[in-house]
Amino acid sequence: MIWKPCVLPGLMAILCLSSCADLGDPLKPQPQSSLTATTLDFGTVALSRSTTRSVTISNSGTGTLVGSAELSCAEYTFQSGGGAFALRAGEFRTIEVAFTPGGVGTFPCVLELGPNAPPVALVGAAALQAPGARCVVLPDSIPFRSVMVGNPVVETFEVLNAGTAPLLVNIVSPCAGFQILVGGGAAEIPVGGSISVSVSFNPTASGLASCELEVGPGCPKVAVTGFGISVSFANDIKPLLNGRCGACHYFADATDPSMYTYLVTDGAPFTFWVIKPYDLGRSMIYSRVVPNSIGARMPQGGPYLSDADIDNIRRWILEGALEN
């Protein structure tokens, strides 16, 4: 690096930089790929039947992520999302793949995504049930209802062989939020036998989640649904309202067992409820604590709620304003 004095009219001499060549190359935007799954397990399907799986690739970097979704196995075809893609920062692409085996056996394959993203392993198998095998699944649907994020709930179902020949099963979950804990994988159930399967719902984010668990060739799938909850009334909302609103509003009295009932009650004939589940626009408390509040912003005279506190109230309402 070379420095030399530079004299400007009317100014004293200063040191200035005559060359910046040794400062290195300028920073360039770089893409960063992220996948929702590194393996897609299609389970075991009946011969010539079809089942689908999906994976989402997103760009969490700063540059454009360029690639191409390609398959090289006859048993796997694109339903959507195949071919070349160019994802700008923050963009994503969902790729849906169908597995249709033409024969009995296992069919490993790879979903290639180009040089800037790792490949996705594909695992699928096909089998024929022996004549006389009869698959019964009880129950064939499980509603997990509302589950707090990070606090998984476990339910069970049974797979029975009510036929006269051994029954082949391969019990897998294609969805990250639903995990087979006990009884998963490939097995043969003897005549009159059964397998008990435990499945957990462990949401990582708020909102509705649904999935179909694969059981085996010719067996009904198990539909599982649940709703992720990220905010607790008892732990997050009640202490907040009591601490910041209790001086002026009796509904924030933490000692009042009817506090929740007062908050989440129909405000008819008025336009607003105190809190209307799933509806921010008609929830009076929310409309008064946000920066663009309807009327004087609360708490009156401030200090106002933090962005994090307002977001907790927002998510609690959108998640159904439960008494949890």
Residue 299: asked if its preceding bond is cis (omega within 30°), the reply is: yes
Cβ count near 211 (within 10 Å): 20
Asked if 198 and 152 count as a contact pair (C-beta separation under 8 A), the reply is no
Asked if 209 and 225 count as a contact pair (C-beta separation under 8 A), the reply is yes
d(CA 76, CA 110): 9
167-183, pLDDT tens digit by residue? Answer: 999 999 999 899 999 99
Domains and CATH numbers, the chain: 30-128 (2.60.40.10), 131-230 (2.60.40.10), 233-318 (no CATH)
Alpha carbon distances (Å) from 64 to 28, 59, 91, 120, 172: 11, 8, 9, 20, 35
Write down the pLDDT at residue 186: 93
pLDDT band, residue 242 (cuts 50/70/90): confident
Write down the pLDDT at residue 17: 44
CA 297: distance to chain centroid?
34
1-37, pLDDT tens digit by residue? Answer: 444 444 445 444 444 444 444 555 666 789 999 999 9
d(CA 238, CA 151): 20
d(CA 186, CA 148): 31
Write down the pLDDT at residue 70: 98
H-helix or E-strand spanning residue 226: strand 222-229
- pTM for the model stands at 0.74
Reading the block at residue 66, the tokens are: 């360029």
57-81, pLDDT tens digit by residue? Answer: 999 999 999 999 999 999 999 999 9
> Which residues on neighbouring strands pair with residue 136, listed in sequence order?
160
d(CA 324, CA 315): 13
Proportion of the chain in helix, strand, coil states, percent, rounded to 5: 15, 40, 45
111-154, pLDDT tens digit by residue? Answer: 999 999 999 999 999 999 999 999 999 999 999 988 999 899 99
Reading the block at residue 82, the tokens are: 């195949």
pLDDT band, residue 256 (cuts 50/70/90): low
Write down the pLDDT at residue 168: 96
Q: Which residues of 94-125 are buried (b: 16+ CB within 10 A; e: fewer)?
A: ebebebbbeeeeebebebbbbebbeebebbbb
Instruction: Please provide the average confidence, as pLDDT, over all residues in the chain.
Output: 87
**pLDDT > 70: what percent of the chain?**
86
DSSP-derived secondary structure letter, 287? H
Reading the block at residue 2, the tokens are: 């070379």
Asked if 218 and 47 count as a contact pair (C-beta separation under 8 A), the reply is no
* For residues 228-240, average pLDDT: 90
| Cα separation of the two ends of the chain | 65
Q: In this structure, what is the dihedral angle of CA atoms 55, 60, 66, 67, given to the nearest 10 degrees?
A: -20
